[in-house]
Chains A and B, each alone.
Chain A
Amino acid sequence: MSAPAGPAPPAEPVAPEQRTIFAMGGGGFTMEPSNPLLDDFVLSLARAREPRILFLPTASGDTTPQINAFKARFQGRTCVPDHLSLFRLRETRRPLADLIAEQDILYVGGGSMRNLLAIWRAHGIDKLLIEAWERGSVLAGLSAGAMCWFEWGLTRSSGPPEPLEGLGLLAGSLTVHADGEPERLPVWLSHLREGTMPAGWALDDGVGLLFAGRALERVVTSRPGTEALRVDAIAGELVRRRTQPELLGSRASDPLGGYDEAVEELRRVNRLRRGTGRRRR
């Protein structure tokens, strides 16, 4: 097996439709320690056979439990996992620009969206992540780590839910934990009605939106019975559209025995779609 250290990915920007963001309303290793469906889906999005995946726990204040959960989930999988703690930068010897540029996947944890963006900006990480996206690295994240990619998110960083501007790579607004934190939804809807936030999505825990460029490509979930709610304001009226996400791993009769196969299939489809033509083994 080749060593993890290798040449950095090409610095050329990829076509807009090859830029990938996977935004989760909740779920993944921090919230679903015994359900790897979303995290395996994240790995399947990378073009590399053994993707480098960097976890950014910034929004939590780089808590050790989040970092340990990341390691527990990804260390045994076909990837090269690492994390970047902006509160313990002494552990990171290399320039941040190099570290981020060489990643295939950048996975952003949940927590305070306000702190996340402010601390990224203080360190110049926001620009590095946007460049990584433009070069074709996958941006993934849940909760604050999902809302940050949109024009607007609904954050509870200061207690009560309130709108906060994100990085704006994706159009519209996102609110998360729609089932787990039901107090968010009415606040979000009233902002949409008043025009103080743009139209967008409310995602249950476990639901993820996959974007190719700025276009929504797939809606998936790790949990049965969850949904994605799309709300548009048309002539002052809110128009709601509920989407049933595809349940990851559901193609097999035995969900645990089958998901590997499903993920493998997704990876094959991805490789074909992206035209890399590389095959496993």
Chain B
Amino acid sequence: MPPRIPQIVALGGGGFSMERDGSLLDDYVLSLVDAPRPRVCFLPTASGDADHYVVRFYRRFSPGCEASHVSLFRRDQGTGGVEADLAAHLLSQDLIYVGGGNMVSMLGAWRAHGLDSILRRAWRRGIVMCGPSAGSLCWFEQALSAFHGAPRPVRGLGLLPYSNCVHYDAEPARREEYQRAVAEGMSAGFAVEDGVGLHFRGTRLERTVSSRPDGRAFLVERRGARVREGSLAVDYLGAAGRPAGPARRGRASAGSGDSRRRAAPEKRVAA
């Protein structure tokens, strides 16, 4: 097998678990996999292996893929999906899909079962990694976790040498909190709205895609004493994957009565 470049698609929120018609982002992730019937393994750890989440995963992926899941909570009951050699199973996948939930709990459980090092190896081998929310934050060096109490920086697996903030549009305070964290020394990184995915090849941001016409993402970095928020060019996936032109964006914004500041998509980040 020729060497494959490591790839991660970090979703700010979205995909099968969060969007009613969540096929656009999932389809994009699957398009990166070169296999007629991709092997896709779901890790619902961050939800505590919630049954409903596992069911929705299979509903979405089993029609076109060899779908499986690993439950780190049900291994004693023989209902943990994959039971045998976790490493061998995960390293034979085309795509590893990490579900949302609590990142701190997830990383704790992963480390206890050695999944952190297995996932690192899987990524290096070119198995595509993706996930929304906690399934995005975990790949980065640092993440802004707003899961409990005041948002605070927490360490992720560090495959991507940046910070990450998801659900950037979900709460008005989120933007301010992330920028303050970066101002106070958190590494520069990416703020992503629901429905938007960051596609990394290696550690370089290759493309930013969205399942929503008005989805946005930003590079947030320190510039001297100030923090700069630069808009990323976002490709709307709704029209056969063509990059979203300003006209369509304008229409979408006007239609939804969106009065948020809309930065021009001027900046393509080479990370």
Contact = CB atoms under 8 A, between A and B. Distances in A.
Does B bind A?
yes
Contacts of B47: 61, 87
Interface residues of B, number: 25
B104 A95 contact: no
Interface in B107-123: 107-109, 111-113
Contacts of B92: none
Interface string B79-94: 0100100000000000
Interface stretch (A10-18, A32-40, A113-121, A239-247): A113-121
Contact of B148 (A63, A89, A121, A155): A89
8 contacts: A86-B105, A112-B75, A115-B109, A117-B112, A118-B108, A119-B109, A123-B108, A157-B72
A112 B112 CA distance: 11
A87 B50 CA distance: 10
Contact of A159 (B49, B73, B83, B102): B83
B105 A122 contact: yes
B105 A112 contact: no
B76 interface: yes
A117 B111 CA distance: 11
Question: Which DSSP category, helix, strand, loop or mixed, fits chain B's interface?
Answer: loop
B137 interface: no
Contacts of B48: 60-63, 85, 87
**Size class of the A contact interface (CB-based, 8 Å):** 20 to 34
A121 B108 contact: yes
Contact of A119 (B78, B105, B149): B105
B105 A156 contact: no
Nearest to B77: A156
Given A87-B105, A118-B109, A157-B76, 16 more contacts: A61-B48, A86-B104, A87-B47, A87-B48, A90-B147, A90-B148, A112-B72, A114-B113, A115-B113, A123-B104, A123-B105, A123-B108, A157-B72, A159-B76, A159-B78, A159-B80
